[in-house]
A = this chain, B = another copy of it.
Amino acid sequence: METLNVALGERTYSIHVGQGLLEQSELLLPILRQPKVAIVSNTSIAPLYLQRLVSSLKKADIETSTIILPDGECYKNWETLNLIFDQLLAGHCERSTTLMALGGGVVGDITGFAAACYQRGMPFVQVPTTLLSQVDSSVGGKTAINHPHGKNMIGAFYQPKLVLSDTDVLNTLPERELRSGLVEVIKYGLIRDLPFLVWLEDHLERLLKREPAALEYAILRSCQNKADVVMADEHENGERALLNLGHTFGHAIESGMGYGQWLHGEAVAVGTMMAAELSQRLGWISASDVVRIKQLLERVGVPVTGPAMATEKYLQLMQNDKKVQDGRIRLVLFKQVGQAMLSAMATPTEIAGAIEANTRHV
């Protein structure tokens, strides 16, 4: 097991990464304010891991209750959030009870937001069960639910007290989700860590084969990169926006095609290609840089071309992005491979061109 400290003053917390962490409930003891934990999971993950986690907590004399949500991004909404509140109140959970998320990004985001709001804030622990949530949503304290008019529109910045990333649980992760998660791993290399990008180009096959040591390294280095950014800019006023490489385009795909049709990493992969294309058209990176990025994403096995969606629809959906300021779309673009920047320079016509260059035409 390796541990990373995310230093955020009074909100500092640890991320443990390694094998067999579900069985190591004693890791929780330093952060519990009372020996009572409410576990939120979903109908897909609970049958696989909930019993193992509950037994482990019981062995440490921790009282548990469980809240099982339906599985899917389409349930990341008010109704499901209220389901959590109802059950917390019914179970007489207090503001010192700990709320634990056992699941992927959707479970983590909605559970984190519930923890942020229940009695104005209760302690929160993440046990992420997908590669994506281990490398992305478990670091940085972003919690949210979706609104019919926009992804993650309603939420809070709320840090967990602890994250347990057990690499063993990735063995049951569907192949498509593993590949989608690797897009976010590659993102860290692309935006700020060229040596890591080179390592990924060299070791991608080990990750696709789910070798524990390779996974542990990639997860830790991803979390370290994200933590560095978050520590410098907790509330996304500056550098943190770079973590959204490909996301403004990607959110438009996810939202436009209906949440759940495209996996997050798949949409981000296409968005990354659009950002690369646009950066090349602005003269910042070369055509061979674009090919390099494309080849790595193709090896991962994710789409590099967007769905047959009208460019106007992209632009309209992108207007709802949280980075829009004074009506201008601000995008994360490549200054060079391994170094991203936030820019409002691209005109709608230039943005449209980059979208069209990476869209499937029917």
Contact = CB atoms under 8 A, between A and B. Distances in A.
A155 B78 contact: no
A116 B113 CA distance: 11
Interface stretch (A88-96, A185-193, A224-232, A345-353): A88-96
Contact of A325 (B96, B142, B154): B96
Interface stretch (A163-171, A279-287, A316-324): A316-324
B78 A82 contact: yes
Given A89-B149, A89-B153, A120 B142 contact: yes
Contacts of A125: none
Interface residues of A, number: 38
Contacts of A119: 153, 155, 322
B117 A155 contact: yes
A292 interface: no
B85 A147 contact: yes
A153 B121 contact: no
Contacts of A322: 94-95, 119-120
A94 B147 contact: no
Given A89-B147, A89-B149, A153-B85, A325 B34 contact: yes
B156 A121 contact: yes
Contact of A144 (B34, B89, B120): B120
Contacts of A149: 86, 89-90
Contacts of A121: 156-157, 235
A49 interface: no
Given A85-B154, A94-B326, A118-B153, 20 more contacts: A89-B147, A89-B149, A89-B153, A89-B320, A92-B319, A92-B327, A94-B322, A94-B325, A117-B154, A117-B155, A117-B156, A120-B143, A120-B152, A120-B156, A120-B157, A120-B236, A121-B156, A121-B157, A121-B235, A156-B156
